[in-house]
């Protein structure tokens, strides 16, 4: 569910207001608050409170101060978290509409609004009594002078797209088969303005996408290969930027079955990378970024059914590489490898892939960040890391040392899909690297894509991680 965001000329006397203000400047206050309220506010400031709630006859006024003590990245994050915190007060008083008024000459108001919009997200589809479960807040209004129109439009695009990604992750596989995900992507493409082409099982087999076919063998539903494209007429880049997303709609581990609980039970999140790519195409097309961007999503579930691929099997990948499968739970790299090979046909400027790929990445950084590595130039890496800090989706680089690649050599085939016991996120990436011949970045989202309980504006379950970060990177590209 999306919170409505609208821009109005001026607010009216009955509108609930959140006034974003600076503690050292209360010149605005006699226009909104009585003398006693102003005195109360001054005393509250002395005590160091961050907001004050004033019930008035026909509306409420919340005065919100933004703490700004840390560095820029932390300041912005504090503002997002305060935006999320105020939702508790709004819910407590059952307000359905609030108008934000800016009496503070800095730009953290946008992050505050971002925190409100993302924190108010709910996934209510499967409740029979949705109205009872819904948050009271339905609409946020901002006045024209709140922030430049372009920034508001962009924020709307990013937050909507993040919620699209969250929705996709939150959908259980009982609904979201690979085929259904393609239908959803087509619908999202129509709404946002990007093109979608879908390869069905026949086409995937004709192309001999051996990684996708192998993973799908134990499944009862067919695989898909999705191609998403945003190609504006005045694109700044001649060669496209390609985004690849792991689209395993459910990962049981296959015959190398995962244990449950605490492992298989959250594996509807295994298309988190695909959700990031869909969210990105949605954000980019909604914001009409002048960049040619292609999204590739190989998709299937991973199951131990009838004809499932088995440990010891040797398969032939789309690019002709042979792979000894030693663990059917290391399926993500197999479907991604086919997509990374497909990406070569675009002669891309840069390829970025997103995947809930390894438990090892999740263990290394938890939900606090994303492991990344790749062959792109240092300048590109520095920029993407900075974007991570800008939106507080932080990145940690791991080294693609040759020795890790040696672990992926097989005695019976060109590669095997399983490395040693250490640095699993790197050995997986070394496997993927084999299928690339262009500047490439790989993001292992296993820790950050899915939360068992909410963390401020990162609501529980799907987080939509990567959408805000890579949008920030592309917008400055
Ligand atoms: N989908 C999992 C990785 C994962 C783990 C995602 C935790 C989200 C949270 C992936 O397909 C997997 O099972 N990886 C194995 C690979 C191993 C068998 C080489 C892993 O990391 O344990
Ligand atoms: Zn797996
Ligand atoms: Zn997986």
* 116 and 184 share one domain: no
Q: Is 258 a catalytic residue?
A: yes
Q: What is the mean pLDDT of residues 104-124?
A: 92
* 265 and 185 share one domain: yes
Indicate which CATH number applies to the domain containing 24.
Answer: 3.40.220.10
Q: How far is the CA of 331 from the centre of ligand 3 (A)?
A: 6
Instruction: Kindly state the tokens that stand for 159.
Output: 């937050």
Catalytic site residue from 67, 183, 258, 383: 258
Q: How far is the CA of 355 from the centre of ligand 3 (A)?
A: 8
* 141 and 169 share one domain: no
Q: Is the CB of 329 inside a 6 Å radius of any atom of ligand 1?
A: yes
pLDDT at 104: 76
* 94 and 177 share one domain: no
* 173 and 69 share one domain: no
Catalytic site residue from 59, 266, 333, 458: 333
- How many domains are there within the chain? 2
Q: What burial class does residue 27 get, using C-beta atoms within 10 Å of its C-beta: 0-12 exposed, 13-18 middle, 19+ buried? A: exposed
Indicate which CATH number applies to the domain containing 183.
Answer: 3.40.630.10
* 42 and 112 share one domain: yes
* 131 and 171 share one domain: no
Ligand 1, residue 449: give the atom nearest the CA: 8
Q: Which tens digit of pLDDT belongs to each residue from 244-291?
A: 999 999 999 999 999 988 899 999 999 999 999 999 999 999 999 999
> How many CA atoms, within 13 angstroms, populate the side-chain half-sphere of residue 223?
30
* 92 and 169 share one domain: no
Q: What is the pTM assigned to this prediction?
A: 0.98
| Owning domain of residue 417 | 156-475
Distance CA 169, CA 406 (A): 34
More confident residue, 64 or 104: 64
* 419 and 280 share one domain: yes
Domain-ending residue, one of 82, 117, 147:
147
Report residue 1's pLDDT band, with 50, 70 and 90 as the boundaries: low
Domain-ending residue, one of 107, 129, 147:
147
Q: How far is the CA of 461 from the centre of ligand 1 (A)?
A: 17
Protein residues with C-beta less than 5 angstroms from the ion ligand 2 = 251, 329, 331
Domain-ending residue, one of 124, 147, 170:
147
* 252 and 184 share one domain: yes
220 has a pLDDT exceeding 80:
yes
% residues pLDDT > 90 (the chain) = 95
* 392 and 245 share one domain: yes
Q: Which tens digit of pLDDT belongs to each residue from 181-210?
A: 999 999 999 999 999 999 999 999 999 999
Q: CA angle, corner 343, sides to 394 and 467, nearest 5?
A: 30
Sign of the torsion formed by the C-alpha atoms of 16, 20, 21 and 23: positive
pLDDT at 229: 99
* 140 and 160 share one domain: no
């Amino acid at each position: 569910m999306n919170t409505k965001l609208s821009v109005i000329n001026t607010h009216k006397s009955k509108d609930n207001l959140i006034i974003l203000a600076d503690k050292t400047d209360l010149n605005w206050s006699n226009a909104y608050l009585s003398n006693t309220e102003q005195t109360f506010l001054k005393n509250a400031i002395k005590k160091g409170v961050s907001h004050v709630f004033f019930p008035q006859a026909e509306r409420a006024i919340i005065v919100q101060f933004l703490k700004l003590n840390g560095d820029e990245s932390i300041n912005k994050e504090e503002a997002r978290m305060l935006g999320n915190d105020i939702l508790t007060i709004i819910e407590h008083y059952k307000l359905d509409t609030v108008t934000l008024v800016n009496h503070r000459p800095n730009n953290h108001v946008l992050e505050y609004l971002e925190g409100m919009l993302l924190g108010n997200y709910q996934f209510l589809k499967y409740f029979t009594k949705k109205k009872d479960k819904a948050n009271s807040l339905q609409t946020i209004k901002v006045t024209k002078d709140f922030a430049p129109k372009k920034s508001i439009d962009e924020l709307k695009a990013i937050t909507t797209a993040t919620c699209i990604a969250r929705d996709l992750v939150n959908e259980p596989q009982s609904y979201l088969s690979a085929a259904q995900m393609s239908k959803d992507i087509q619908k999202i493409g129509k709404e946002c303005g990007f093109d979608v082409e879908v390869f069905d099982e026949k086409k995937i087999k004709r192309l001999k996408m051996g990684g996708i076919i192998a993973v799908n063998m134990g499944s009862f539903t067919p695989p898909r290969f999705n191609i998403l494209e945003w190609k504006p007429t005045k694109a700044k880049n001649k060669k496209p930027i390609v985004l690849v997303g792991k689209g395993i709609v459910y990962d049981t581990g296959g015959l190398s079955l995962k244990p449950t609980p605490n492992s298989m039970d959250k594996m509807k999140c295994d298309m988190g990378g695909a959700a990031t790519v869909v969210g990105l195409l949605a954000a980019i097309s909604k914001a009409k970024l002048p960049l040619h961007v292609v999204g590739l999503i190989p998709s299937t579930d991973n199951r131990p059914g009838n004809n499932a691929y088995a440990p010891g099997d040797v398969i032939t990948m789309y690019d002709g590489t042979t792979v000894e499968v030693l663990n059917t739970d290391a399926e993500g790299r197999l479907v991604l490898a086919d997509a990374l090979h497909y990406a070569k046909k675009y002669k891309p400027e840069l390829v970025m892939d997103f995947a809930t790929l390894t438990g090892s990445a999740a263990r290394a950084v938890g939900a606090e960040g994303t492991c990344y590595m790749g062959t792109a130039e240092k300048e590109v890496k520095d920029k993407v890391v900075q974007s991570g800090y800008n939106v507080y989706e932080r990145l940690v680089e791991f080294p693609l040392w040759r020795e890790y690649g040696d672990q992926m050599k097989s005695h019976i085939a060109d590669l095997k899909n399983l490395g040693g016991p250490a640095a699993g996120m790197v050995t997986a990436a070394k496997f993927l690297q084999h299928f690339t011949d262009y500047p490439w970045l790989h993001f292992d989202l296993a820790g950050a894509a899915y939360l068992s309980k909410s963390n401020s504006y990162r609501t529980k379950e799907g987080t939509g991680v990567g959408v805000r970060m890579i949008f920030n990177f592309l917008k400055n590209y």
